[in-house]
Structure 1
Amino acid sequence: MDLLLWRHAEAEDGVPDLQRKLTARGEKQAKQMAAWLKAHAPNPLRVIVSPALRTQQTARALGVPFATDERLRPDAGVVDLLAAAGWPDGSSDATDDDSALGAQPCTNVPNRGERKRAILVVGHQPTLGRVAALLLAGQEADWSVKKGGLWWFSNRVRQGETQTVLRAVIPPN
């Protein structure tokens, strides 16, 4: 399975928190990362986002369908995010029907051949950093994922053991 964690791009300060919009810089960050994803992301790619407006605006830059998942709210925990994503085996306790989540083959993301299941989560700090720490170090820690940045993980089985592989860390521009 591939798990891509994309932190929402730069957003305006203010309240209510869920209604914060991207800044002009944030819109540029989202477009630049979307261009990178279109060139490199697995296909098909299921995209799930927080209910926060800034995550939805970030995801829209990719130009593919996405689903909003309440388990990805700004106050979400690591377990919530991993359950929403179905990590590590691609199963989600919500549904296994990608079309029900708004996921479809991404027509503007090139098909890279037969791949494992892939999901892109557009979410928030500190949850994304804590997930990254858990996957790589085996325990939650407050690691930084920059606004607009992306971390890409895969899992694989080697000699009967499941391993997590960090495929890419892409900073925002």
Structure 2
Amino acid sequence: MTLASDDKVLILFRHAKAEQVFGKPDHERELTPRGERDARAAGAWLHEHELGPELVLCSTATRTRQTWAAATEGGACGESVEFDDSIYSGGAETVLRSVRESAGEAQVVLVVGHNPTMAMLASGLSEGDGSTAAHDCLAAGFPTSSIAVLRYAGPWSDLTFGTAALERCHVSRG
């Protein structure tokens, strides 16, 4: 993907399908076999569309860590990966603050997180701007292994609701 010097891309990636085990702490839930396949398919899609982030911000939950690991097996790449508990525990504003504070000079940042936060953040940042098909995909529920690709022009510190355009939305299935 070719970007102008002030263009930024934010990729919001909802973790893949996780187990539902009674009594197991939410933070420790692991991917199901389908989740692993879907995450690898997401990695292949990211690679195919040349969406290689310089920075990956990943929730500390087991399922998000496993999602990113499986995505890299599928072909995704990230120059640097940071695990951030606020992506697990925070809402859209908190995740947005993490992006603003951590992105630095990166042009492409990917966040591996949870719903409803990922869908709310994609919707709020774009406020209807961008691809109609991508917004239709987002409105359909943003299931596990969904990816939203947003474009933004300006410094990360100025990224706020209504300043980005939703370019693509993809639901990965393996």
Could you say which TM-score interval applies, normalised by the shorter chain? 0.7 to 0.9
* 1:58 paired residue number: 67
Task: Show the 5 A alignment for 1:22-101.
Answer: 22-63=31-72, 64=77, 65-73=80-88, 75-86=89-100, 92=101, 94=102, 96=104
Q: Is the 8 A contact 1:149 1:171 kept in 2?
A: yes
Letter in 1 for 2:142: V
TM-score relative to the length of structure 2: 0.72
Q: Is the 8 A contact 1:38 1:62 kept in 2?
A: no
* 1:149 paired residue number: 146
- SS of 1:5's partner is strand
Q: Is the 8 A contact 1:149 1:172 kept in 2?
A: yes
Matches of 2:53 and 2:122 in 1, distance apart? Answer: 23
Q: Residue by residue, what CA displacement relative to the aligned partner does 1:25-59 show, whole Å, maximum 9, x if unpaired?
A: 00000000001111224445311111100000000
> Which ranges in structure 2 are unaligned for 5 or more consecutive residues?
1-7, 129-137, 155-161
Task: Show the 5 A alignment for 1:117-156.
Answer: 117-137=107-127, 144-156=141-153
Cα distance, 1:16 vs structure 2: 0.4
Q: Is the 8 A contact 1:156 1:165 kept in 2?
A: no
* 1:21 paired residue number: 30
How many residues are aligned here?
A: 141
Displacement over 4 Å in runs of 4+: none
Q: Residue by residue, what CA displacement relative to the aligned partner does 1:73-115 show, whole Å, maximum 9, x if unpaired?
A: 1x411111111112xxxxx1x573x8xxxxxxxxxxxxxxxxx
Matches of 1:38 and 1:164 in 2, distance apart? Answer: 22
Q: Is the 8 A contact 1:146 1:172 kept in 2?
A: no
